[in-house]
Amino acid sequence: MKVGFIGLGIMGKPMAKNLLKAGYEVVAYDPFAKANLDDVVAAGAIRGESNAGVASQVDVVITMVPNSPHVKEAIFGEKGIAEGAKPGLDIIDMSSIAPLASKEIAEECAKRGMRMMDAPVSGGEPKAIDGTLSIMCGGDPAMFEQYKEMLGVMGASVVHCGDVNGAGNTTKLANQVIVAVNIAACAEAFELAQMAGVDPEKVFEAIRGGLAGSTVMNAKVPMMLSRNFNPGFRIDLHIKDLNNALETGHGVGTPMILTSAVQEMMQWLHNNGSGSDDHSGILKYYEKLTGVELGNL
C-alpha cells in the first residue's frame, strides 16, 4: 500500500517514520516544516511537491495538521488533495478538529468521490515516536477495517468510535477535557504540598500508585518537578482543542464548567508568553498566583 502523509510537525514526523519502519511506501509533504520533511525523506519517504502531487501517487492520504481550516485547505485548497486525487482515493484525517467540521469535510469529500475517516490521536510526542498512540476513529466501518492494521503501526489502541464522521473527534474532545483538568488538578495539588512544606517528589511517590494515579500524572508531574516544559503537546494546541470542546458542548447543551476554568488558565498562559510550552506548564499559572515555585522548599 502506498500512503501519502501531509503534515510533519511534532506528531506527524514520527508517525510517518513508523509507517516507513513497518514497510509502507510513504509520499510525504509539508510546506511549513521543511527540515522535518527532509528528515522523513532521509528515512526513506518519497518527497511530495504539493498536496495534489501526493494525492496523485497514492491509495490513501493521511492528514495531520493543526485545526479544521488547515484540513479544509489541505484537501480543497489550491493544489489540494482533491485536485490531484485519483478516483476512489481515501483520506484519513488524524488531526484534532471540531466534530461538525469533520462531518462537513467528509460530506464534501463524498461529493468528489473520496471517502474520509476521522482518526485523531492521543499520547503526545513520546507515544508518536514509539508507535503507541491511542487512535479514535469515526466513519464507515468498512473503511476502518480496511485501514486498522496500518493505523496499528502508529498506535497501540485503534478503536472505531462510531459510524458517523466526527465520532473520533468527539472522543478526542472528551479525552482532551480529561487530560486538561487532570493536569490542572496535579498542578494545584502539588502546589498545595509545596506550600504546606511537604516535598512534592515524596507526594508523587506516595500517591502515584493509588486511586489518584494516572497516565497523565505519571507523564506530566515529573516534567513539573524538573521544570521541563519542552512541548510534547503545546498549550496553544490544547487551547484549540478546548475551544472545540466548549463549542461542541454548548451546541449539544452539556455544561462545560471545569473545561471553561482550565481554558481560562491556558489562555492566561498564552497571553503571558507560554503558549508554546508543554501543557504541563499550567503549573506556571499556579506559581504566578502563589509566588512559590515548585521544588524549592
The catalytic residues are 172
- Provide the β-strand partners of residue 117: 92
Please name the amino acid found at residue 127. K
* 163 grid coordinates: 459510524
Single out the residue of 67, 66, 65, 28 nearest to residue 50, CA to CA: 28
Single out the residue of 105, 112, 113 nearest to residue 69, CA to CA: 105
Place of cell 493521511: 62
CA distance 280 to 241: 15
The answer to whether the CB of 183 falls within 8 A of the CB of 176 is no
The answer to whether the CB of 282 falls within 8 A of the CB of 183 is yes
* 273 grid coordinates: 508568553
Q: 176-190: b or e for each residue (b if 16 or more CB lie within 10 Å)? A: bbebbbbbbbbbebb
Positive or negative torsion for Cα 35, 41, 45, 50: positive
